[in-house]
Amino acid sequence: MRRRPGAGAFVIIARHVRADLHFHSNASDGVLAPEDVVARAAANGAQLIALTDHDDVRGLAQAREAAVAARVRLIDAVEISVTWESTTVHVVGLAIDPKTRELVDGLAAIREGRDRRARRIAEALEAIGIRGALDGACRHAESSSIIGRNHFARFLVEAGAGKDVRTAFESYLGRGRPGYVAHTWASLPEAIGWIAAAGGMAVLAHPGRYRIGAAQRDRLFAQFRDLGGRGVEVVSGAHAGEQVAEHARCCRRFGLLASCGSDFHSPSESVVDVGTVAPLPEGLRPVWSELA
């Protein structure tokens, strides 16, 4: 990431910028179209936003048009699925050039793996008597969208197998449940490398969500930083109150920049609405101080 200090950067360095740098559209596993989720963020008062669909950048062009119309600053971004020490972690790339060949090819390879996994998830559900899950999940996705577990969860709710998406994960799709299929995503060096090639800034997404202990977490932070990772989501819709303070400490300790995002997917499923993220804790340097 090239640094461009100057008046523009100075204006947006303030902690109280209303920023939401992590949310989804129906180009991945969100339910709103890119233009609708951007309009919603703007209507909710956001000033600086990033659409971070899983493993795909195809929603960004529509999001850009909506952001211009709503006069909100949009950063081109993506959320990349990574396998690190047998754990799935997510890395957000902010301020990427979405046309960069290395990134485009890397994401295409992840999506191929995703499609194979989707077929295996459907087979696993079939084995416990739940039929038609692949078609069902696809019905809940846009035709060009990736297929993710949220699409299966929405199908399972519709089929009466759970009262809501969260329950569907607890009963079927979460780790150790009958519809869970282990999968190897990109490596951490690959994901950070593609983001760097695209001129972007790598940010570790929602670290509080990973089921790892403190020693492993510290190793993740150290490796992430040593590979060129620059920021971490301190405030996230996926973080409980205590986890914000914990990751603010990690952010300082590892010399990272702080990011914030709702991880919004849907008005009826998400706890934090898009564009309504709490401010960063005091004393952290926000990622936007280096995104001129």
Contacts with ligand AMP by CB under 6 A lie at 29, 54, 81, 148-150, 165-166, 169, 174, 265
Determine, following the binding rule CB under 5 A, whether residue 53 of this chain makes contact with Mn ion. Answer: no
Closest to 44 (Cα-Cα) out of 23, 65, 75: 23
Measured from the CB of residue 164, what is the shortest distance to ligand AMP in angstroms? 9
What does 225 bind: Mn ion, ligand AMP, none (CB cut-off 5 to 8 Å by kind)? none
Q: What is the C-alpha separation between 289 and 278, in angstroms, rounded? A: 18
By CB under 5 A, the count of residues binding Mn ion is 5
What does 203 bind: Mn ion, ligand AMP, none (CB cut-off 5 to 8 Å by kind)? none
Q: Find tokens 């009963």 and name the residue.
A: 171
Q: Find tokens 């301190």 and name the residue.
A: 234
Determine, following the binding rule CB under 5 A, whether residue 154 of this chain makes contact with Mn ion. Answer: no
Measured from the CB of residue 31, what is the shortest distance to ligand AMP in angstroms? 11
26 Cβ neighbours under 8 A, 6+ residues apart: 32, 33, 34, 59, 141, 142, 145
Q: What is the C-alpha separation between 275 and 100, in angstroms, rounded? A: 28
101, amino acid identity: R
Residue number with CB closer to Mn ion (126 or 216): 216
C-beta separation of 172 from 125 below 8 A: yes
Burial status of residue 164 (CB atoms within 10 A of its CB: 0-12, 13-18, 19 or more)? middle
Determine, following the binding rule CB under 5 A, whether residue 29 of this chain makes contact with Mn ion. Answer: yes
Measured from the CB of residue 62, what is the shortest distance to ligand AMP in angstroms? 20
Measured from the CB of residue 11, what is the shortest distance to Mn ion in angstroms? 28
Residues 77-106 that bind Mn ion (CB under 5 A): 79, 90
Residue number with CB closer to ligand AMP (131 or 166): 166
C-beta separation of 232 from 204 below 8 A: yes
Q: What is the C-alpha separation between 172 and 156, in angstroms, rounded? A: 9
- Indicate which single residue of 263, 287, 290, 291 sits in contact with Mn ion (rule: CB under 5 A): 263
Residue number with CB closer to ligand AMP (55 or 290): 55
What does 166 bind: Mn ion, ligand AMP, none (CB cut-off 5 to 8 Å by kind)? ligand AMP
Helices 214-226/188-197 angle, 10° precision = 30
Measured from the CB of residue 93, what is the shortest distance to ligand AMP in angstroms? 15
Q: What is the C-alpha separation between 257 and 204, in angstroms, rounded? A: 10
Binding site for Mn ion (CB under 5 A): 29, 79, 90, 205, 263
